[in-house]
Amino acid sequence: MQVMETRKSKLGADHPDMLTSINNLASTYINQGRWEEAELLGVQVMETCKSKLGADHPNTLTSIGNLASTFWNQGRWEEVESLFMQVMETRKSKLGADHPDTLTSIGNLASTFWKQGRWEEAESLFIQVMETRKSKLGVDHPDTLASMSNLAFTFKSRGEVEMAIRLMEECVEKRKHVLGPNYPNTRGSGETLDSWRITALNLGSGNKSYATA
């Protein structure tokens, strides 16, 4: 608050550094669960960026994404979807469908569908992101592996347990190779895989490849 007020008086309410301070304060409110205050600041930054920089400026799109995150924490999925869709379409037209920022936007929209139980829509987008990252970044890139994990969770949510386990097995092995066995993402994926294998056994899957050592 101190930094924000000083920057406002010295630089003006629409200076980029001032907007950064507002974003930081909004993040503080989000971490405290003070959604209305966070939303108010998020809207302020977004509207200022739109008027000063334009609706398709990277900073404007980031501010829209930040506001979507505020709505996400409140479970306001229709508003989240609308904002993430706006960011995705703008990035597609400005940066291209295979730009890393565009793929992040597509992944955000897919996660929004996933949270609503819209598995088919989530799966379609996660596959798109994963395949594009494979071709652009390589099959072992951490971002590709994150997409692989997201898709595995979607398969699991749809009840496609075998497909989920196979994909997560691939993800775990590649993360061990790329990130190391003790990296948090590697360990998290491994724990998830173990849990899914145990669940499959308890459900009487009868598939020996799921048995834990």
pLDDT tens digit string along 144-167? 999 999 999 999 999 999 999 999
Task: CATH number of the domain at 110, please.
Answer: 1.25.40.10
Same domain, 17 and 114: no
The whole-number pLDDT of residue 24 equals: 87
The boundaries of the domain holding residue 140 are: 79-213
pLDDT value of residue 7: 87
Residue written as token pair 């608050």: 1
Name the domain boundary from 40, 74, 108: 74
Say how far apart CA 135 and CA 137 lie, in whole Å.
Answer: 6
CATH of the domain at 13: 1.25.40
One domain for residues 65 and 86: no
Q: Rg of the chain's alpha carbons, rounded to an integer?
A: 20
Considering the domain architecture, whether residues 95 and 67 belong to the same structural domain is answered as no
What's the number of domains the chain is made of? 2
Mean pLDDT of 181-200: 95
- The answer on 195 and 91 residing in a single domain is yes
- pLDDT tens readout for residues 59-79: 899 999 989 999 998 999 999
Give the model's confidence band at 211: pLDDT under 50 very low, under 70 low, under 90 confident, else very high.
very low
Confidence class for position 141, pLDDT limits 50, 70, 90: very high
Q: Looking at 53, 74, 95, which one is the last position of a domain? A: 74
Query: Rounded mean pLDDT of 94-111?
Result: 96
The answer to whether residues 101 and 138 belong to one domain is: yes
